[in-house]
Amino acid sequence: MDCTQVREHLKDHRRGALPTELAEALEAHLAGCDACRHEDAADRELSLALEARLPKRQAPGHLRRSIEEQVRESTRPPARATRAFTAATVAAVVAIAAAVLLLARREPDAMVAEALNDHLRVLYSTHPVDVEGADVHRVKPWFEGKVDFAPVVAFGGDDDYPLKGGAVAYFIDRKAAAYVYERRLHVVTLLVYRADGLPWSTAATVALGHVRAAVRTTRGFNVLYWRDGDLGYAMVSDLNLQELETLGAKIAGG
Amino acid sequence: MPTGTVVPNADAVETRLWYSERVSGRSAPSFPRSAVDHLDALYRVARRLTGSDEEAEDLVQETYTRALAGWSSFKADTNLRAWLFRILRNAHIDSYRRAQVSPVREDGGHDADATDASVGREPLRGDAELERLRSVVAADIDAALASLSVDARTLILLDLEGFSGEELAGILGCAVGAVKSRLSRARETLRERLRDYRD
């Protein structure tokens, strides 16, 4: 065991988290190494300083109240017409339908909001792409090792819809591969991410090649999103819907 | 974990921690109110990551918003606290990239400022460093932490919150072995910076 290995395990050793054999090897090294004994003592002092002298800040009250309210709202059960059919009123039936529709749409809408936020980050950033390139064969390999899937994008840009490059983005709780295209002066962000566990809407869909994509318009931006196998795709732009669908069809492929 | 054992790749860790199908694979029915129990810890880390009360509040708010939006992807057998911290870290990277203050390393590579504390350097004699460490105050530590890279600072702060090496690997999306060596270097660098502040 050399000094580098010893120092990586000092903290676990102090916590008693090392297997016996490893702990014994580490102690044998410490017995004969002044430098590592010093490191152990200094690292212990650092832990004491961090734990004892840094104030334990608490979240401000207004933040706590805001988040508690947000969580409470999200966990509030949807209104149910418990006696819907006892009165057999049309109003009750409408209420149930509305509640079901609201429940079905809520989670996909959160996904649309997240896609829009990612697009806005691209627009606001002075360096929207980490890898530049008008060739998808240059951009795609760049993502290797940066995201935990292989993004499948059939379209590498052309004169009408040039590909400007790519960047790693975050989509809710997972990494996403962001491709940035342009159409005249409009920026189009394509997000590709693992689709598992995310809600998918089947309402208001259009055909994009061999898939069907959901369509949303929010805050003046058009959003198309679809699922193809294990991957999810979301396209966001202020480009008109017809041209966005044209680009979407190229990306989805035949 | 035996010495030298390295989880093959970050994806394996991430998959095991976050998207495991090995138990029921069912999502929890609704967002747990117990998630608010982690608010103080999230704020504490956010405050030291951002260095500002307002930015920390925004970051924590963004974390819960994303967590609520992504709750359907949460699996019942995963670690809620670590999941929230992972979202916080992702949100912080996003805001950092937006601000374009300096590049954030996401590739598991070494931060420049986490490598300059070399193993072979001459140790302080006479326990001078230990004495310095015993005399540092919160302001010194805050300033030294703020001088580190985001990656190194994040590691130290999450470790301080008591996460295990495996949990840290899941939060940061890298292998356990890499986390240990990066954490070790980050702490060495922090000590170097603290010596600088007291010299």
Most confident by average pLDDT, A200-204, B107-111, B166-170: B166-170
Q: Is residue B114 part of a domain?
A: no
Averaged pLDDT, B145-150 = 91
Q: In the A/B pair of chains, how many CB contacts fall below 8 A? A: 186
CA–CA dist B67, B63 (Å, integer): 6
Q: Is residue B73 part of a domain?
A: yes
**Two structure tokens written together for B48:** 């030291």
Per DSSP, helices labelled H in chain B are: 10-18, 39-50, 53-69, 80-99, 128-135, 138-146, 150-160, 165-172, 176-198
DSSP letters of chain A? --HHHHHHHHHHHHTT-S-HHHHHHHHHHHHT-HHHHHHHHHHHHHHHHHHHHS------HHHHHHHHHHHHHHHSPPP--TTHHHHT-HHHHHHHHHHHHHHHHHHHHHHHHHHHHHHHHHHH-SS--SEE-S-HHHHHHHTBTTBSS---------SSS-EEEEEEEEETTEEEEEEEEEETTEEEEEEEEE-TT-----SSEEEETTEEEEEEEETTEEEEEEEETTEEEEEEESS-HHHHHHHHHHHH--
pLDDT at B31 over 90: no
At B57, which CATH number?
A: 1.20.140.160
pLDDT at residue B60, rounded to an integer: 93
Residue A61's Cβ-count burial label (10 Å; 0-12, 13-18, 19+) is exposed
Q: How far is CA A114 from the centre of its chain?
A: 8
pLDDT at residue B101, rounded to an integer: 44
pLDDT at residue B98, rounded to an integer: 65
Strands A174-183 and A163-171: antiparallel
pLDDT at residue B174, rounded to an integer: 85
The string of pLDDT tens digits covering residues A29-49 is 999 998 899 888 999 989 988
pLDDT at residue A139, rounded to an integer: 80
Model confidence band, residue B116 (pLDDT cutoffs 50, 70, 90): very low
Decide if A176 contacts A168 (C-beta within 8 A).
Answer: yes
Averaged pLDDT, B23-35 = 63
Shortest distance between the Cα of B52 and any Cα of chain A, in A, equals 12
Q: Which residues contact B29 (CB under 8 A, 6 or more apart)?
A: none
The string of pLDDT tens digits covering residues A81-103 is 444 444 454 555 555 555 444 44
pLDDT over 90 percentage in chain A: 23
Q: Residue B100: its chain A contacts at CB < 8 A?
A: 125-127
User: Which residue of A170, A180, A227 to mutate against B (max B Cβ within 10 Å)?
Assistant: A170
Q: What share of chain A is helix, strand, coil (3-state, %, to 5)?
A: 45, 25, 30
Q: Which domain does B130 fall in, by range?
A: 10-106+125-198
Domain locations in chain A? Answer: 3-53, 107-252
User: Which residue of B73, B158, B179, B182 to mutate against A (max A Cβ within 10 Å)?
Assistant: B73
In one letter, which amino acid is B65? T
Q: Is residue B43 part of a domain?
A: yes
CA–CA dist A143, B148 (Å, integer): 27
Q: What is the ipTM of this complex?
A: 0.73
pLDDT at residue A99, rounded to an integer: 47
pLDDT at B16 over 80: no
Model confidence band, residue A202 (pLDDT cutoffs 50, 70, 90): low
CB contact under 8 A, B39 and A67: yes
Greater pLDDT, A9 or B98: A9
pLDDT at B23 over 90: no
CA–CA dist B184, A141 (Å, integer): 31
Q: Is residue B115 part of a domain?
A: no
Greater pLDDT, B123 or B189: B189
Q: Residue A43: its chain B contacts at CB < 8 A?
A: 187, 191
Q: Is residue B120 part of a domain?
A: no
Greater pLDDT, B6 or A40: A40
Domain count, chain B: 1
Decide if A95 contacts A81 (C-beta within 8 A).
Answer: yes
Q: Is residue B113 part of a domain?
A: no
Q: Which of A 123-182 lie inside 8 A of B, CB atoms?
A: 124-127, 145-146, 148, 168-170, 172-175
Distances (CA, A) of A244 to A151, A185, A213, B27, B90: 20, 13, 12, 34, 28
Which among B180, B187, B125 has a CA at the least distance from the CA of A46?
A: B187
Averaged pLDDT, B166-190 = 90
pLDDT at residue A94, rounded to an integer: 52
pLDDT at A172 over 50: yes
Nearest residue of B to residue A78 by CA position? Answer: B30
Lowest mean pLDDT among A102-111, B85-94, B150-159: A102-111
Decide if B155 contacts B172 (C-beta within 8 A).
Answer: yes
pTM tops 0.80: no
Nearest residue of B to residue A129 by CA position? Answer: B97
Q: What is the CATH number of domain A107-252?
A: 3.30.200.100
């890279």: which residue's tokens?
B149
CB contact under 8 A, A60 and B100: no
pLDDT at B110 over 60: no
Q: Residue B90: its chain A contacts at CB < 8 A?
A: 170, 173, 175
CA–CA dist B22, B37 (Å, integer): 27
Q: Which of A 18-57 lie inside 8 A of B, CB atoms?
A: 19, 21-22, 25, 34-35, 38-39, 41-43, 45-46, 48-51, 53-57
CB contact under 8 A, B43 and A125: no
pLDDT at B5 over 60: no
Averaged pLDDT, A77-82 = 51
Greater pLDDT, B58 or A90: B58
Q: Is residue B139 part of a domain?
A: yes
Strands A205-208 and A174-183: unpaired
**Two structure tokens written together for A144:** 């290797």
Distances (CA, A) of B194 to A99, A101, B184: 58, 58, 15
CA–CA dist A82, A92 (Å, integer): 9
Residues in chain A: 254
Beta bridge partners, B27, equal B75
User: Which residue of A1, A9, A46, A51 to mutate against B (max B Cβ within 10 Å)?
Assistant: A46
Q: Residue B65: its chain A contacts at CB < 8 A?
A: 70
Lowest mean pLDDT among A2-16, A130-144, B11-25, B30-44: B11-25
pLDDT over 70 percentage in chain B: 69
Lowest mean pLDDT among B85-94, B99-108, B181-190: B99-108
- Per the prediction, chain A carries an average pLDDT of 82
Averaged pLDDT, B118-130 = 56
pLDDT at residue A134, rounded to an integer: 66
